[in-house]
Amino acid sequence: MDFKVLSKYPENAELVVWEEFLAHASYTTHYTTPNFFTDPYIRGDRFSVLAMDGEKVMAVLTGVDNGKRIVSGMPVRPQAIFRKDSDRLQALEALKNGLLEKGGESLELVDLHTWEQVDGIESLGFRARECVDADSIIMLDLSLGADAIFKGFSQTRRNEIRKELKKGLIEIRELETDEQIRELYEIHKDWNTRKGNPADPFEDYERAMKQRDNRAVFIAVHEGKIVAGSYFRFCPGGVVEYAANNSLPEFQHLRPNDLIGWHAIQWACAGNFTHFSTGGSHLFLRRFGGEVFSAWHYRLDRTFLRRHEVKESLKQLAVRTYLALPDGARNRIKQALGKA
């Protein structure tokens, strides 16, 4: 297989073959479409690599190049996908060759993530790691239908949703107007202030909210006031990804986020998407049922003696050693670090 490296939104023939590929690939998401190049939240030197078998695309990878390191996706958001009938190892070898061309001589480290395992990838020089535990996600199979998915919710989640639907104090709507965008942005700023995070610049936020061909935003309204909003990315006919939520704490007793989640799942089922990724696996998300899903992380360390891998291994060893200590020893370590 050959490859093509793109540094901007594709045009003409490249756009046609990329879009044809998406109709025959597994786990297609917003960040594996050409719209990756128009997303306001991507920072840095963005690019894509197409693995080509003649004129047919067999795999796509999108990522960011910072000069010495290339990153493609995250454990909860892979950005490398394959045609369903492809030889994944051959396709990934073509992607690797494209990455090496893009990174050049200065490239030290490649971190890429896939939804599907690639057997034999060690032969290409990559170290493989399954993304488990905190790096796993809850995945819903939308082919089951909304009713069956609802039955898979935890009993607590089902009871809370039924209770709030009966009370009728929250209305779920799709974000539509400029006024709603500005109102939700104020909640976005308040939420980030409470979490100690910087808010997105309004220009980027507004631009993202208006990208309706690859994003859906649902808001919870109580007595005419927006009290919560959740953001979803998607690829038509592919995966819907829960991206983020902003909400006001004083209205949490009305369960607006539970209601938005249920509404979004119903919307995704009706929209003929294949899967719904919750983007994480913490308790709130686990109560939506589904299956625990683990993506794959592949790392290519090109440094002498693979110093990045050695550093990462030592870090993991330190974490495992710390977690194995008795509670008293861990508390003393925390106290000592707090005084440092």
Tens digits of residue pLDDT in 110-146: 999 999 999 999 999 999 999 999 999 999 999 999 9
Low-confidence ranges of the chain (pLDDT < 70): 304-325, 327, 329-340
CATH of domain 2-132+294-330: 3.40.630.30
pLDDT of residue 216: 98
pLDDT of residue 254: 97
pLDDT of residue 326: 75
Instruction: Give the 3-state secondary structure of residue 276.
Output: strand
pLDDT of residue 333: 59
Contact 270, 143 (CB under 8 A): no
Could you tell me the residue ranges of all domains in the chain?
Answer: 2-132+294-330, 137-293
Give how far Cα 269 sits from Cα of 208, 225, 243, 273, Å.
23, 28, 18, 6
pLDDT of residue 303: 85
Say whether pTM exceeds 0.75.
yes
Which residues lie closer than 8 Å to 209 by C-beta, 6 or more apart?
Answer: 175, 181, 184, 215, 217
pLDDT tens per residue, range 295-315: 999 999 998 556 556 566 555
pLDDT of residue 340: 46
CA–CA dist 48, 265 (Å, integer): 30
pLDDT of residue 338: 57
Task: Kindly report the number of other CB atoms within 10 A of residue 25's CB atom.
Answer: 20
CA–CA dist 28, 96 (Å, integer): 20
Domain 137-293 in the same topology as domain 2-132+294-330: yes
Q: Which CATH class is domain 137-293?
A: alpha beta
pLDDT of residue 335: 60
Contact 77, 31 (CB under 8 A): yes
